[in-house]
Each structure stands twice: as C-alpha cells, then as structure tokens.
Structure 1
Amino acid sequence: MTPRKWLSLGCLLAAPVAAPLVAQPLARQFSFSAGTGGAIPREDLTSFMTTSPLLTIGFGYRPIKYLQADVGLDAVFHAAGVRDFQDTIIGRLKISDNEIMVPLGGRGILPIGPRVELFGGGGTVYLHYGESVEVPGGGSDSSFNCQTCRSRGGWGYYTTAGVNVAVERSRRFWVGVESRLIHGKTNGDPLGAVPPLETTDTWINTAAVFTFRFP
C-alpha cells in the first residue's frame, strides 16, 4: 500500500473519533459544580465506618479545551457513628463526626456528541476526619470549645470518572454523575471505632452533580 493510501485510510479511521470534537463549540473556561450522593468506606475503614450521605462541590478551570484543573471538597456525614455529648452552660450538646476530603488534580474530557461528555482524571487528596459540637438550631459551631473532640488526617490520591449532559443549547448548565475513588492513609486520635493508629483508607464516592459553566 502506498503512503498516500495509508494516509487516506488513517483519515477514514480517525473521522468517527474527530467528528464529536469538531462538532463541539469552544468550551467555557470556568465551572462550578455541586451534588449529593453516597460515600462507601473500604479497606481498613470497612469495620469502623458505614456508608453515609455525601455532599460534593468543585471548581474547575480549563487552560485548554479538553483538559481541566480541579479543586473540590467531599463532605461525608457521620460515617464513624460518633454519639457523644459535652456539658456546657446551655446544656448537653451533641458531638458528631464528619469526614472531609479535598481533591486537587485534573481531568481529561472526551465529547461524544454536541451535549454529552465523558471525563476521567485524578490527583492528590487531603483527608480530615473530625468531631464537632452540634448547637441546637445552629448546626456545628466552632465558638464552643469542644473539650473532647478528636480528629485524624492524612494524604492520598484519587481517580475520578463520569458523564455530563448539557440541558440547554448554550451549554452553561449540565447534569451528570461523578464517581471518585479515594485512597490514602490517615492517623491521629481514635474516632468512633477507628483506633488511634495509622489506617489505610479507601472511599468510593458517587454523586449526582449539577454544573454551571461560565463565562
């Protein structure tokens, strides 16, 4: 086969992949996302924590069309099942736990149509598990000095994948599903049933996500 025929064959094979990329208009540079779902603890945490509600937020910046830098926050509620109290001048206040994960990384974006995108990526993540005082009618309030609250933390890495679909023609508003696999090590105070030792932690966080892109 001559070089010209090889070139023609390559263009023919590349056309189905390139078509969705060409069909998409210029991507908006910035994005803000928020969603809710569930977080599943694995590895050492399997015996100490339970599947719990998840709230996720994120901010993205695209330096080029199909690559995005990400920073976000995953908040998991009461996975350690802490049920403790602190006596204060206003009565006994409940102490509960929250698990916070802060991912910092990036993703590659693959459009498969004018309004549908697949994505995948990863990066580093900071993990912090801690207790806080719940003030009636006010949620957690750091102005109360919690005498018995404990915490632990550490670093790890994450991978992410999902799909987004534009809900209108301007492609500002998107809905989708994102799953994040987080793996790291934490140490510090005991928290619920978690011992005061270094643990190897894995989380599977999956959420339905709404995204707003601008400008």
Structure 2
Amino acid sequence: MIVCITDLLTTDEVARIQDGLAQAEFVPGETTAGWHAKLVKQNEQATQQMALKPLEIIVQTALARNALFQAIAWPRMVHSLLFSRYGEGMSYGRHTDNALMGGANFYRSDVSFTVFLSQPDAYDGGELVIEEADSERSYKLAAGNAIAYPSTTLHRVEPVKSGDRTVAVGWVQSLVRNAAHREILFDLETVKRTLFAQSGKTPEFDLLAKTTANLLRQWAE
C-alpha cells in the first residue's frame, strides 16, 4: 500500500528544517547504504547528529500527530531518520531497503517514508519511482508532504538535472508485520472514521470497532 500524506509538516516546520540543514555538514550518502545499494547511491546526507536532533524531533512529532500515517504504519518504532540532499547529477538507483537497520539494535524496516523538503519547481528530475507488480509510479510532492510505502518494494530516485532535492527519509518497525494485515486494518479504520462522522456512535460503529480491535490483537507483535 502506497499512500501520499498531505501537509505532514507545516510551512513553518519546513522552513525551520531547511534553515537547520543550511548549517549542517553533508557527507556522501553511500556511507549508510548496504554493500550493493551503495553501488547506485549518489547523494549526500547530513551528519553531526547532535545538531540534527531538533530537526529529527520536528519530523518525529509530525509523524506522531498525523492520524493517516499512524493508520498506515501502526508504528512500534520510527527509526534511522536521515536528511538527504541530491544536487545536479545525483540519483539513487534501483534498490530495496535493508530489512534490518539501526546497527546492533536490529530494527526491522516494514514501512519506508519520504518527507519532501524542497518544492517541486526547485529542481528538475529527482522523482521517487516505486515499482509495483506490473507497473511503476513516480512521485514528486510539495514541500511538507510525504509518502509512505512498503519497505519491500524496489524503488529509485531519478537523476536530478538541475537544482537541489532535499528530503527526510526514515523507516518504521510496525506493530503489524504483515503488509496485507496493515492494509485491512487501514481500510477498517477508514470506514470506522467515516461511519462515525456520518452517524456517530451507532451499534454498527461499535461492531466495526470491536472487529478492528480484535484483529489488531491477533496480528500485533
């Protein structure tokens, strides 16, 4: 399930992150890629972890308050947050994200997300392309918007022809490991919220809420 999230960050939050990154040091992105992904990873990543902490908190807080993201990901842990920059000629070739991240902590990657920090007209190219079973789709969202997608997918970032593409990327170890189960829970949560908005707390709503909760009890780890 691939879902775009509108206005994850406010305009002020995007500006604060951009101001912070303007003072950050960037290093080659291949330093955090797996042994085969680093062959196709050509970008830069912000370093100096202590200086980046306030920026990470902005993103983490936005994810925690966003009901759509929570319903998509069912996060146990949001981890391995990175701020990446793509200048002219940079790209990230076709790859799948590592299954385990976080060094010795071994956090599982179930859901990947990208938070766009540059406006689409600030750079040419640089689309995020995600492959599906018989097709592929490209994404280039407004600053402050985000996309969440299964970490199991093959995906890439097309070469940037001009300008700068800046994003925050991260991963979720979900309470619900199975992607199909997460999609069922997301659909039920969507119907539940719609039903409540239309009719309030009806017997039908209560039954749907019971079913959602009981499925979560079966599937949560």
* TM-score normalised according to structure 2 size: 0.25
Structure 1 or 2: more helix by fraction = 2
Structure 1 or 2: more strand by fraction = 1
Considering Cα pairs closer than 8 Å and 6+ residues apart, tell me whether 1 or 2 has the greater RCO.
Answer: 2
